[in-house]
Structure formats: structure tokens, C-alpha cells
Amino acid sequence: IALISGGGASHEPAHAGYTEHGMLTSSVSGDIFASPSAKQILAAIELAAFSGDILIVINNYTGDRLNFGLAIEQAQEKYPELNIMSVLNADDVSLLPQTRGGEGEGGMVGPRGNILVCKVLVSTPPTYPRPTLDRTKLLGDALVAHLRSLGATLGHCHVPGREPQHSFADCNNGSLAFELIPPSQIELGLGLHNEPGVRRTRENNTMPTGPGSGLGTRLLFINNLGGVSTLEMGAVVELVRKELASHGMVPARIYSAPYMTSLNAPGFSISLVNVTRTEAEETLLSIRTSFSPAASATSSLHAGASQGHGGFAWTDLGFSAEEIERGVRGACESVFAAEADMTRFDTVVGDGDCGETFVGGGRAILVALDSHTLNPQTMGPALFVSKVGEILEGCMGGTIGELFAIFFTAWSIALRRSTHAPLNEALVALGKHTPARPGDRTVVDALASLCEIMLSRASSSTTTLTTADLEEAAEATKRGAESTRGMRARLGRASYV
């Protein structure tokens, strides 16, 4: 089983430093504090796939979830025989968002305990049963479920090439602004990208009282964020150990090092793992990891790549290639006509670029149609839809481009398999990579209404669609969008207003 993980740069040695024998098979890095692109992640998947099945550890940030999710869908479309699963790392209790029924909208964020999760998943002692992809994913999910982390820092990290910021007034060029943490205070929960923490305090706080020794065996994982000296980290470890002991908690093992840093941030994070219900971990953690490069024979996935053929033909759906092209061009023109309204609405709740983003997508599709790189005459439905997703990924910035790319890629896979309800399968696939659900006041409300009407249509004995079917689907999609008028936004930029 190959293991892949990654994220933005500036967290070194994560993740390139762990791409070794006994750790990650391949890793991927974006720019400083930026998620790697889906194309970069797909390249990492192709490099690692010689090992067989693939498990990807994804940190619970929106950008990571969408880009890794899109890469997984693209890999499954391109290499249908490749088995890929993922584990979502979400362990930071300090940045838990607003709740819905007691559960976080997007769950806890990562990635403070990421390296510990990766270490466990690749370590297999001789006495342990041969791992399968399903078992390894279950182990990863169990580990994350019993992992909790909290960070503390005396100040913010400094991004190379930028002037140090000392107040909100110093913010320029769209960079992140923050206030200095006073010398007498610490900030709890400050994110690895300088995201605001849960609070600042000057108190000598202690842990809340409660049951201790009866809660099982624990591992203690203390991570240097990059700007704390070795001497000071030794003091931190001892203080944490004593505090845990005062509550009846004696860690079975203690790990302390700069595992995942935040440039030169003067802080650290503390992670606790309860391994009582995942008994294999203690044994797995005892396996030594080699950090010297290991030679291995590799082979390329490219020779076995699918070209997106197969599945439905246009005639199976009841339309000719000419009708499909006219419909797509008409949809693009409708987007252009709505640009002003989209921009006006987004100016109220966002940064005003929604109309421009959608128009950019429409123009790119028209250019592809004119140049015949997108051509329903030579492409079947699966390949055509896949190409649309690829185009939108490349030209529509922000979250919406990634959402559409995932949706269209998954739709293409379902079309190639000639499944009963391909649009519904695409929506299910999208739900694996975003917490957005109907009722959250996002684009998913409109997509869900579309998929619902098409699913009811799919219950008939034929796959053929009529113009009336598409008109009904369009009206349902519009109703889904209009239904968000009275909703409270739970996700997206509108939730911050």
C-alpha cells in the first residue's frame, strides 16, 4: 500500500522530509501556505502507484480537501483499476467552527497530528497481519478519532519576502494582517498559517480536573513549530508531562521534535492519542523508520491510462452531438447575461469576483468548442464531460472551480460505467470532499435539486431524455437556488457576514 500526504510549503520537514523508506511513498507541496494543485497531487499519485493500492492522508482544510478530492476523482477516471482511499486528518480542537447539532460544520481542522498518523499507517511489524487498503483506512480513521491537539505560541511566523506585520494598519498587497501578541501573553490555538487562535491569555492555566488514569493508554506528541530552541522544548515536554501526571495520565510514549513547523513560529503544539481502542498503534509505533533514501523499481501508470471512452453515447441519451453543442453554447451565453447580477450579489457578501469567475469559465468553454479541443462530434458523453471539468478547473479560480471540477470528473466516471443515475453519483462523490450539504446555502443546494429530479427521471426504463426533461431539470435547479433566500449560510464566504 502506498501512502501519500502533503500540503502547503513552510511546514518542513513535512512532507518532503518524510518521503522515505518506511514513511511516505510520495508527497506533494504547494506554495507557501497554499494547497498543492490537483495536477500536482495527481502526479504524486502516479509516482506512488507502482506500490499497488493508495491511501492518502488529507488535512481538513477546504483547499486541501477540494484539491486532493479532485485529484482522487481524476485518478479514478484515468486509471479505473487503481484503488484509492483517503483518511481525513482533523485533530485541532482549538479551531472547531460553529456547530450544527453539536457537530462542527467542517469538523476540526488539521494538521498538527498528521505526521503521527502517517507514521502509524506505514509501520507493519512482522507479527501483524498483512494490511489491506480497507484495514489500513479503518486504522487511520480510528487513530484520528482518538487524536486531539492544541497549539500555543508567543508570536506569529514571518513569511519570507514579506515585511513583518505589526498591526492591521500594516496590511498590504492582500497579505494576512494580525496584531502582535503582547510579551506577557500567549495565544492558544493560533493556526499554522497565522490564523487567529481561540484566545490570548497571560494566566498560568492548568488543565480542567476530571477522570485521568481510567481513560486508557495515551501517546504524547509535542511538535515544535519552528522557532523554539531545543533547550526550551525540553522544558515544555517536562511541564506537560508533570501536568498530565497530576491528572493521573502517564503517557506510554513521548515524542518531541519539529515534525511539522510553521516557518519560524515561536510556539508548539501538544497532541494526545488514546490508543486503548486502537491497540495496534503501540506495536506499530515501535517499528523504526529509515530516513535514508531507498532504491526501488518503479513502473509508470501512464501506459494504462483510460482515454475516457466507453459508456453512454449521445444517442443513448436522446440527443445528437449538434444539439449538445448548441445547448452548451446557449448555457455559456446565459452565464454572460447574468454576470452583472452575480457580481452585484457577491459584492454584498464576498469579494465581488463571482460574475467574473463564471464568465471566465464560459469563455474558456467557447474557446475550446471553437478550436475543437472540446468536440461532441468526436467525444462521447464521458470524455466530453471530463474535458469540461478539466477546462473549468484551469480557468475558474477559488472554491467554485474545484467543486465543479470534482463534480464533472465524477460525472464522467459514472457515465463511462453506464450507471443508472450518473448525476446522483457525481453529487455523492462531491460530498466526500466537501462538508457542504443541502440547507447550507451553497451551490450544493442547486446541484442537489438537479440531481433529485434527474434521479426520479432515471427510475424509468430508458436512459433517453427529452427537451421537456431538461426543462424540468432546469426549473428544479432554479428552485433549489431560490430556496436559499431564507436560509442562514453555514458554509462559504456568506457565513462570515
Angstrom CA distances, 424 to 410, 413, 416, stand at 10, 12, 14
The pLDDT value recorded for residue 102 is: 36
Q: Tell me the sheet residues that pair with 237.
A: none
Among 116-120, 206-210, 220-224, 369-373, the minimum mean pLDDT is found in 206-210
pLDDT per position as a tens digit, 175-192: 444 556 777 788 888 878
Q: Give the model's confidence band at 270: pLDDT under 50 very low, under 70 low, under 90 confident, else very high.
A: very high
The 10 Å Cβ neighbour count of residue 175 is 12
- Give the residue extent of every domain in the chain: 2-91+108-158+181-203+215-290, 314-495
Distance CA 369, CA 85 (A): 35
pLDDT bracket for residue 100 (50, 70, 90): very low
Residue 44 near residue 52 (C-beta atoms within 8 A): no
Window from 5-14, 221-230, 360-369, 417-426 with minimum mean pLDDT = 417-426
Comparing 173-177, 179-183, 297-301, 422-426, the range with the smallest average pLDDT is 173-177
At 209, which amino acid appears? Answer: T
What CATH number labels 2-91+108-158+181-203+215-290? 3.40.50.10440
Q: Is 400 within 8 Å of 357 (Cβ atoms)?
A: yes
- The pLDDT score that the predictor gives to residue 365 is 97
Residue 120 has pLDDT above 60, yes or no: yes
Rounded to two decimals, the pTM is 0.77
- Highest-pLDDT range among 129-143, 159-173, 289-303: 129-143
Residue 385 has pLDDT above 90, yes or no: yes
Please state, in angstroms and as integers, the Cα–Cα distance from residue 432 to each residue in 436, 487, 495, following that order.
10, 23, 21
Average pLDDT taken over every residue of the chain: 82
Task: Check residue 165 and give its pLDDT.
Answer: 57
Q: Name the superfamily (CATH) of residues 314-495.
A: DhaL domain (1.25.40.340)
Determine phi and psi for 212, rounding to 5 degrees. -125, -80
User: Which of these, 451, 399, 404, 449, lies nearest to 427 by C-alpha position?
Assistant: 451
Residue 38 pLDDT: 93
Q: How many CB atoms lie within 10 A of CB 317?
A: 17
- Segment 317-355, tens digit of pLDDT: 888 999 999 999 999 999 999 999 998 888 877 777 889
Q: Are strands 218-224 and 199-201 parallel, antiparallel or unpaired?
A: unpaired
State the Cα–Cα distance between residues 29 and 40, nearest whole angstrom: 8
The pLDDT, as a whole number, for residue 428 is 94
Strand pairing of 253-257 and 218-224?
Answer: parallel
The per-residue b/e assignment along 323-336, b for 16 or more CB within 10 angstroms, e otherwise, is ebbeebeeebeebe
From CA 470, how far away is CA 240, in angstroms rounded?
62
Residue 168, judged by CB atoms within 10 A of its CB (0-12, 13-18, 19+), counts as exposed
The most confident of 28-37, 114-123, 125-134, 348-357, by mean pLDDT = 28-37
Helices within 96-157 (DSSP H only): 114-122, 133-145
SS3 state at 54:
strand
Which residues touch 370 (CB under 8 Å, ≥6 apart)?
none
Q: Where are the alpha helices (DSSP H) in 298-442?
A: 314-317, 321-337, 339-349, 354-370, 381-395, 398-416, 422-431
Of 100-109, 141-150, 357-366, 485-494, the least confident: 100-109
Cell of 327: 445547448
Alpha-carbon span 259 to 12, nearest angstrom: 8
Higher-confidence residue: 285 or 383? 383
- Band of pLDDT at residue 455, cut at 50, 70 and 90: confident
Mean pLDDT of the region 471-496: 87
Q: How confident is the model at residue 88 (pLDDT cuts 50, 70, 90)?
A: very high
Query: Given a cut of 70, is residue 145 above it in pLDDT?
Result: yes
Q: What is the mean pLDDT of residues 384-411?
A: 91
* Run of H or E residues at 58: strand 54-59
More confident residue, 307 or 160: 160
